[in-house]
């Protein structure tokens, strides 16, 4: 008897931040969960699912995960793009979840079983000035993290994306009908970044893995200058130095600095990383499982990267829901070229809705051995947190022109 999909429903909820979740139910009463969250464009993916995909799923064989992926991707005429791939990703994650539950095994077992005991995670430390930053990094080390992303304020600027003041928690998206505007100045950032990051390295010693994110804001010449100025800091990686569209520009950066580079959190298919990987212009690929069509496509991206000795270091801020994060951990546990998982953590309310079975120990995370993805979703709790528009800020240069994200 085939296991048939009898319902596919979309849940939009905002426990601390907005999430779009897909619930797929089968004829034998199994429920699978998928994450369709696209920060600041949540309702577009919710509509793609509700208005175009959910009806197509009903009646399909839930065990045919790959065929469903091909049907939704190749069958749609319009391929790729963040909205499409996040929607397909939610379906795919839900079907892997169902398959694991049907067979009574965790998803990492479906993927071939563990190749490591745990997945190393990195978290965020932010401080407006250097003493605050050092304090924040120390706090993360005390919690056992082996890898920390350090972001800092820039003298002369009032705000910097992702950096809180006085140790307050920050949330990437601000609630309200439109994005806040922040003023940005690259020259001030380029002067200060080596000072702040060298101070962290001097403070923590050689062992801590140190990461930094430039958020796509530089030109190749600026990226080379930053890379060279950070060569003595021994970074684990420098992230998103350039906007990701014109990838041939990265050849110049690569030729002139040996700082390890990470790119790809805005990518949504293997075609976005083909050249970067096969030319080995990056060391780490940041693609997130939910944003690239789910586990079915993600494992192909990572298999391609493995051939070129490029490792995965996926995106995992608070706007990637615990369902995707669990999916990523299962893949990470079972995939050889998986280096590190970003784990920013979640506001407390998020855990009222999403109950993950993962554990964290000594800087490593394990997705748990419950069947499927191992995350349960409390629909009643979800209903109590209504969607509110929330957006990442937009940066403008001093002359008022819009800065790249």
Q: Which residues sit at the interface with Mg ion, rule CB under 5 A?
A: 213
Question: Is 319 an interacting residue with respect to ligand GCO (CB under 6 A)?
Answer: yes
**CA 372 – CA 355 distance, rounded (Å):** 13
Ordered alpha helix ranges (H), 245-402: 250-256, 270-278, 295-307, 322-334, 350-353, 379-383
Q: Shortest Cβ distance from residue 38 to ligand GCO (Å)?
A: 8
Pick from 317, 322, 363, 367: which binds ligand GCO (CB under 6 A)?
317
Q: Does 39 bind ligand GCO (CB under 6 A)?
A: yes
CB of 105 to ligand GCO, least distance (A): 31
- CA-CA distance, 52 to 395, in Å (whole number)? 34
Shortest approach of ligand GCO to residue 16 CB, angstroms?
14
**Helices 322-334 and 295-307: crossing angle, nearest 10°?**
40
Q: Considering 122, 161, 189, 346, which one is annotated as catalytic?
A: 161
Residue 124 designated active-site: no
42 is an interface residue for ligand GCO by CB under 6 A: no
Q: What is the CA radius of gyration of the chain?
A: 21
State yes or no: residue 92 binds ligand GCO (CB under 6 A): no
Distant-in-sequence, close-in-space partners of 65: CB < 8 Å, separation ≥ 6:
92, 95, 96, 99, 296
Report how far residue 53's alpha carbon sits from residue 68's, in angstroms, rounded to the nearest whole number.
11
Q: Is 35 in the site for ligand GCO (CB under 6 A)?
A: no
342: partner contacted, choices ligand GCO, Mg ion, none (Cβ within 5-8 A by kind): ligand GCO
DSSP 8-state class, residue 77: S
Do residues 49 and 22 make contact, with C-beta atoms less than 8 angstroms apart? yes
317 interface partner picked from ligand GCO, Mg ion, none, CB below 5 to 8 A per type = ligand GCO
**Both tokens assigned to 318:** 């608070």
Tell me if 282 sits within 8 A of 261, measured CB to CB.
yes
Does 161 participate in catalysis according to the annotation?
yes
Q: Is 265 in the site for ligand GCO (CB under 6 A)?
A: yes
H or E stretch including 86?
Answer: helix 82-103
162, 327, 356, 363: which one contacts ligand GCO (CB under 6 A)? 162
Q: Does 314 bind ligand GCO (CB under 6 A)?
A: no
Say which entry of ligand GCO, Mg ion, none residue 68 contacts (CB below 5 to 8 A, set by partner kind).
none
Comparing CB distances to ligand GCO, the nearer of 23 and 217 is 217
**211 beta partners:** 149, 237
CB of residue 39 vs ligand GCO: minimum separation in angstroms? Answer: 3
Q: Of 136-144, 312-320, 321-329, 365-373, which segment contacts ligand GCO by CB under 6 A? A: 312-320
Check binding of 222 to ligand GCO (CB under 6 A): no
Residue of 161, 175, 153 lying closest to 347 (CA atoms): 175
- Distance between CA atoms of residues 96 and 300, nearest Å: 15
Q: Which of 213, 222, 272, 283: binder of ligand GCO (CB under 6 A)? A: 213
Per DSSP, 155 falls in state T
Please classify residue 37 by burial: count the beta carbons closer than 10 Å to its beta carbon, then call 0-12 exposed, 13-18 middle and 19+ buried: buried
By C-beta, is 162 or 356 nearer to ligand GCO?
Answer: 162
Joined together, the tokens standing for residue 405 give 């994200």
x/- binding map, residues 373-392, to ligand GCO, per CB under 6 A? -------------------x
Contacting positions for ligand GCO (CB under 6 A):
39, 162, 172, 213, 215, 265, 315, 317, 319, 342, 392
- Which residues are known to be catalytic? 161, 215
């Amino acid at each position: 008897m085939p296991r048939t999909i009898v319902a596919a429903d979309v849940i939009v909820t905002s426990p601390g931040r907005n999430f779009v979740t897909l619930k797929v139910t089968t004829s034998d009463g199994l429920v699978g969960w998928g994450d369709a969250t696209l920060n600041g464009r949540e309702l577009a993916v919710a509509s793609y699912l509700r208005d175009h995909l959910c009806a197509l799923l009903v009646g399909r064989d839930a065990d045919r995960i790959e065929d469903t992926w091909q049907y939704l991707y190749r069958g749609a005429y319009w391929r790729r793009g963040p909205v499409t791939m996040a929607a397909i990703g939610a379906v795919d994650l839900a079907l892997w979840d169902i398959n694991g539950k049907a067979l009574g095994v965790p998803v990492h077992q479906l993927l071939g079983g563990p190749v490591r005991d745990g997945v190393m995670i990195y978290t965020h430390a932010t401080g407006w000035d250097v003493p605050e930053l050092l304090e924040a990094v120390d706090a993360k080390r005390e919690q056992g993290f082996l890898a920390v992303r350090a972001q800092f304020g820039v003298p002369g600027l009032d705000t910097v994306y992702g950096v809180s003041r006085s140790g307050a928690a920050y949330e990437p998206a601000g609630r309200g009908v439109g994005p806040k505007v922040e003023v940005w100045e690259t020259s001030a950032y380029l002067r200060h970044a080596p000072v702040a990051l060298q101070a962290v390295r001097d403070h923590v010693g050689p062992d801590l893995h140190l990461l930094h994110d430039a958020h796509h804001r530089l030109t190749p010449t600026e990226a080379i200058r930053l890379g060279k100025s950070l060569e003595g800091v021994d970074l684990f990686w420098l992230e998103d130095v350039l906007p990701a569209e014109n990838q041939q520009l990265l050849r110049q950066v690569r030729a002139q600095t040996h700082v390890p580079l990470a790119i790809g959190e805005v990518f949504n298919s293997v075609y976005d990383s083909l050249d970067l990987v096969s030319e080995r212009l990056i060391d780490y690929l940041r693609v997130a499982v939910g944003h690239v069509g789910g586990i079915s496509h993600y494992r192909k991206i990572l298999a391609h990267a493995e051939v070129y000795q490029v490792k995965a270091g996926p995106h995992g801020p608070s706007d990637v829901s615990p369902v995707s994060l669990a999916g990523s951990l299962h893949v990470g546990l079972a995939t050889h070229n998986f280096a590190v998982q970003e784990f920013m953590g979640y506001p407390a309310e998020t855990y009222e809705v999403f109950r993950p079975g993962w554990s964290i120990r000594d800087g490593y995370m394990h997705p748990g051995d419950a069947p499927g993805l191992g995350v349960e979703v409390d629909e009643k709790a979800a209903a109590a947190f209504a969607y509110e528009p929330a957006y990442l800020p937009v940066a403008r240069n001093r002359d008022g022109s819009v800065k790249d994200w």
